[in-house]
């Protein structure tokens, strides 16, 4: 417990320092006074806090540093993970983009790194990834990874202990092409070559190597998605109170090919549908439906983990409350999430709470697939200081009699 408290304090102090530095380094082009100064200061603070907790970057001219949320984190295998990432923006070049990072673990004492370069094929691009994009990206990384949890090294996933923890060490070269049509349809084929050279497992303060020998594999496939942009101005005030949820309908299909282990070859197919529907100017309903299936044999490290987490601190729609090892790894699954947002209907009736502009919500989640169904319900408030949310959760684990638990989840916008 003492170590856990120290970890939270260290991360909080560093993040507060970064946030304060960013806030007071903002240029002011006109003198402000009175209510204007108070209003602008409040908006800046909310913007910086929200951005810092959700993948913010620190802009230094043509270079952006970040994501800041991944600068410092902790896990039982790497120890303290220190990561410095940077990338170019449109001020550097509108046609080319470069990104990279270097990370180091104080416990495993290993350096990790990654590099990527992208080029736009548009005649006059405003930036490489500006809609509609037409670009090619080449990347290489030697890094740790957790399947289905790309942001495992975000600081808010470091604040609770886990009894079981997997971490994989992998080298990957990837080539991806992205083409977006003006009517919001995008096609993105890709191919990658990877070498998995270590798979570490932490359990009850002990660390085990679970990989007998390195594995080489090729991944090739494509993603097709439809992502129209909302243009309804009458709901912009409500939308600003809610967590981002873009309209999306897409499928991804790819094959994993193992030259040395042909019996492990398999194909992965998945889909995602999500939408936000507004009920008048008072309420909104968020709907998310996703699923997938693995055809062929596969090591369980590469199964779907649609609810993966070992913490009770989680991002919206993302993770679960349980700490059981591999509870949600499945070869096939379907997950449905339905959330009803009241958009301040309750709090706005209380004068001194109206200024908070929080969103009250209730939601339900159901997961079906290879294992027994899992259900989860919750209620809470979010948009606190434009970046935080808290909710009370009840989970129901059908794999064991009387399974499930109560818990508190923190959301980060």
Task: Identify the H or E element spanning 94.
Answer: none
CATH 2.40.160.50 domain locations along the chain:
240-245+260-413
pLDDT of residue 208 exceeding 50, the answer is yes
pLDDT of residue 173 exceeding 60, the answer is yes
| pLDDT, tens digit (0-9, with 9 covering 90-100), for 96-121 | 999 999 999 999 999 999 999 999 99
Q: What is the mean pLDDT of residues 383-388?
A: 77
Distance between CA atoms of residues 89 and 99, nearest Å: 10
Of residues 124 and 367, more confidently modeled? 124
pLDDT of residue 239 exceeding 70, the answer is no
Which pLDDT does position 395 carry in this prediction? Answer: 78
Highest mean pLDDT among 84-93, 293-302, 376-385: 84-93
Task: Identify the H or E element spanning 389.
Answer: strand 388-397
Write down the residue that tokens 């004068």 correspond to: 351
CATH architecture of 240-245+260-413: Beta Barrel (2.40)
DSSP designation for 350: S
Burial code (b: 16+ CB inside 10 Å, e: under 16) for 225-235 equals beeeeeeeeeb
The pair of three-digit structure tokens given for residue 71, joined into one six-digit string: 């600068």
DSSP designation for 130: P
Of residues 94 and 30, more confidently modeled? 94
Q: What is the mean pLDDT of residues 79-93?
A: 95
pLDDT of residue 287 exceeding 80, the answer is yes
Distance between CA atoms of residues 390 and 395, nearest Å: 16
| pLDDT, tens digit (0-9, with 9 covering 90-100), for 57-76 | 888 889 999 888 899 988 88
Find out whether 84 and 101 touch, Cβ atoms under 8 Å.
Answer: yes
pLDDT of residue 188 exceeding 90, the answer is yes
| pLDDT, tens digit (0-9, with 9 covering 90-100), for 2-54 | 565 555 555 555 544 444 444 344 444 455 555 555 555 555 555 555 555 55
Find out whether 135 and 121 touch, Cβ atoms under 8 Å.
Answer: yes
Q: What is the mean pLDDT of residues 67-93?
A: 92
Which pLDDT does position 31 carry in this prediction? Answer: 55
Which pLDDT does position 24 carry in this prediction? Answer: 40
The pTM of this model reads: 0.76
């Amino acid at each position: 417990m003492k170590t856990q408290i120290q970890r939270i304090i260290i991360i909080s102090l560093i993040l507060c320092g970064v946030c304060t530095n960013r806030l007071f380094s903002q240029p002011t082009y006109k003198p402000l006074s009175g209510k204007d100064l108070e209003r602008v200061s409040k908006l800046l603070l909310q913007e910086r806090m929200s951005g810092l907790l959700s993948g913010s970057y620190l802009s230094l001219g043509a270079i952006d540093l970040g994501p800041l949320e991944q600068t410092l984190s902790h896990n039982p295998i790497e120890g303290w993970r220190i990561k410095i990432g940077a990338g170019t923006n449109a001020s550097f070049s509108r046609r080319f983009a470069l990104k990279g990072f270097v990370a180091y673990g104080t416990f495993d004492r290993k350096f990790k790194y990654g590099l990527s370069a992208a080029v736009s094929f548009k005649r006059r691009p405003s930036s490489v990834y500006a809609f509609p994009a037409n670009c090619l990206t080449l990347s290489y990384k030697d890094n740790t990874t957790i399947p289905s949890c790309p942001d495992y090294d975000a600081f808010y996933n470091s604040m609770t202990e886990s009894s079981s923890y997997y971490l994989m060490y992998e080298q990957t070269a990837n080539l991806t092409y992205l083409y977006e049509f003006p009517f919001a349809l995008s096609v993105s084929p890709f191919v990658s070559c990877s070498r998995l050279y270590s798979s570490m497992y932490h359990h009850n303060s002990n660390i085990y190597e679970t990989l007998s020998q390195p594995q080489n594999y090729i991944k090739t496939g494509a993603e097709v998605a439809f992502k129209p942009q909302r243009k309804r101005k009458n709901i912009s005030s409500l939308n600003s109170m809610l967590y981002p949820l873009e309209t999306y309908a897409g499928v991804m299909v790819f094959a994993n090919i193992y030259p040395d282990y042909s019996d492990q070859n398999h194909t992965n197919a998945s889909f995602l549908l999500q939408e936000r529907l507004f009920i008048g100017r008072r309420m909104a309903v968020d709907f998310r439906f996703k699923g997938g299936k693995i055809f062929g044999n596969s090591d369980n490290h590469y199964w779907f983990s649609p609810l993966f987490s070992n913490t009770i601190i989680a991002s919206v729609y993302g993770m679960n409350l349980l700490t059981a090892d591999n509870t949600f790894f499945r070869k096939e699954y379907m997950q449905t999430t339905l959330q009803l947002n009241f958009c301040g209907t309750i709090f706005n009736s209380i004068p001194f709470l109206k200024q908070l502009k929080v969103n009250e919500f209730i939601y339900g989640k159901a997961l079906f697939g290879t294992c027994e169904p899992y259900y989860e319900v919750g209620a809470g408030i979010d948009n606190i200081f434009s970046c935080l949310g808290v909710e009370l959760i009840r989970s129901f684990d059908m794999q064991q009699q009387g399974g499930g638990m109560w818990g508190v989840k923190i959301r980060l916008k």
